[in-house]
Amino acid sequence: MKVFHSPAHTQHAPPFEIFDGGEKITNFEMPERMERILSALRTDGRYEIVPPEDFGLAPIRAVHDRGYLDFLRTAFDEWLAEPTDYERIALLPATFPLPGPRGHVPTTLLGRAGYYMSDLSAPIVAGTYPAALASANCALSGAKFISLSAHPFPSADNPIRASAPHPLTAFALCRPPGHHAGRANCAGYCYLNNAAVAAHWLTQFGTVAILDIDYHAGNGTQDIFYERADVLTLSIHADPDFEYPYYAGYADQTGAGAGLGFHQNYPLPLGTDDAAYLDTLAKAIERITVYSPQSLVVSAGMDIYGDDPLGRIRVTREGIRQIGQAIAGLKLPTLVVMEGGYNNEALGLNVCAFLEAFHQ
Ligand SMILES: [Zn+2]
């Protein structure tokens, strides 16, 4: 299986985040996560790990706000240029806009930080922007690869499709992750919504479904596609009534305008086990079957694992394997995009368990 991965992710290594209640802790979303996964993939031996192609900014601008992207690109250098005398390692805001119309973008750096940064777990460091771009390019490269088996698809001079009559799968080993990043904000370790960028790119070939199985609601993806019918977005996650991101991911949020009915959240109670999770997954898979998309993007977070430090449901590694099996059973061209997962000891084997059924 093709795995798209860039070592550029190491440029993004925030030393801390501000956790619940204001606790300053080591950032859970650390570069070591990738090393653990790469090690497991290499040990397995059935993965071809390749660098991404550079798609430029156009496919990213297609889903993200221009002002937000400019902020992400320049914020850290602007901060360093300001005449302050405190140590500047990781930029975080101290203010946030109230709900309601957000028409006025402040001109000051700290004003824009609050405007574009939605919480205290997505600090911007010196290498955040290039790492986020490389991560999005991993997803785009995977999308391009699987598109070679999408239907209908430009079939002229397409050697891979000719040699791969079955739907293709690719794994975008993305870091930083993306599914909490909305159209104009970073949040929850996420800066560019890799799955959304890839899914939008894939719509040039037809409809797309995004299935988000990360433990946390895919609120950024929900935001980006909420009024669109050409991308069905489904998210299975811990009930936001007790879990981050708290303000999105509820079952009654089902899209708006042209997108009404094309978003579905499946909130799970505390302690959900394999059987209950798989029952919920079956409902989401039924929705995808009815929608009949040309391709599928999976936001794959391994923080559903029972021993994840940030998770509070009880899915086992065998459960993760069965989740992968059920999704692979759709037999769609499928791009698996790495999202969360913070039990570093277990992360590599959990990813391999999830991908097992996609081997052809
Ligand atoms: Zn998560």
DSSP per residue over 104-164, as a string? ---SSHHHHHHHHB-SSS--B-TTHHHHHHHHHHHHHHHHHHHHTT-SS---TT-HHHHH-
- Tokens (6 digits) for 237: 């996650």
Strand ranges inside the chain, DSSP E: 2-4, 17-18, 24-25, 48-50, 169-172, 208-212, 231-238, 263-268, 295-300, 334-338
SS3 243: coil
Q: Does domain 2-64+127-358 have CATH number 3.50.50.60?
A: no
pLDDT at residue 155 is higher than 80: no
**Distance of CA 336 to CAs 76, 203, 298, 307, 324, Å?**
31, 16, 5, 22, 10
The rounded Å distance from CA 158 to ligand 1 centre is: 36
- Tokens (6 digits) for 161: 């499709």
Secondary structure letter of residue 95 according to DSSP: -
Q: How far apart are CA 163 and CA 112, in angstroms?
A: 49
**Domain edges within the chain:** 2-64+127-358, 66-116
The rounded Å distance from CA 181 to ligand 1 centre is: 12
**Distance of CA 198 to CAs 170, 208, 259, 280, 336, Å?**
12, 10, 19, 25, 10
Sign of CA dihedral 293, 299, 300, 303: negative
The pLDDT assigned to 84 comes to: 85
Task: Give tens-digit pLDDT for 263-309.
Answer: 999 999 999 999 999 999 999 999 999 999 999 999 999 999 999 99
**Distance of CA 266 to CAs 209, 230, 235, 323, 358, Å?**
15, 20, 6, 15, 24
The rounded Å distance from CA 308 to ligand 1 centre is: 10
pLDDT at residue 152 is higher than 80: no
pLDDT at residue 140 is higher than 90: yes
CB burial of residue 218 (10 Å; 0-12, 13-18, 19+): buried
Specify whether the CB–CB gap between 330 and 296 falls below 8 A: yes
The rounded Å distance from CA 342 to ligand 1 centre is: 8
Q: What percent of the chain clears pLDDT 70, i.e. is strictly above it?
A: 95
The rounded Å distance from CA 20 to ligand 1 centre is: 15
Task: Give tens-digit pLDDT for 27-74.
Answer: 999 999 999 999 999 999 999 999 999 999 999 999 999 999 999 999
Q: For the chain, give the mean pLDDT.
A: 94
- Which of the residues 180, 200, 216, 237 is marked catalytic? 180
Q: How far apart are CA 298 and CA 199, in angstroms?
A: 10
Task: Give tens-digit pLDDT for 342-358.
Answer: 999 999 999 999 999 99
Concerning whether 9 is annotated as a catalytic residue, the answer is no
Q: What percent of the chain clears pLDDT 90, i.e. is strictly above it?
A: 91
The pLDDT assigned to 165 comes to: 55
pLDDT at residue 149 is higher than 80: no
- 63 CB neighbour count, 10 Å cutoff: 25
The rounded Å distance from CA 153 to ligand 1 centre is: 33
Specify whether the CB–CB gap between 3 and 337 falls below 8 A: no
- Tokens (6 digits) for 182: 């909305």
What lies within 8 Å, CB to CB, of 26 at 6+ separation is 15, 16, 17
The rounded Å distance from CA 119 to ligand 1 centre is: 15
The pLDDT assigned to 161 comes to: 44
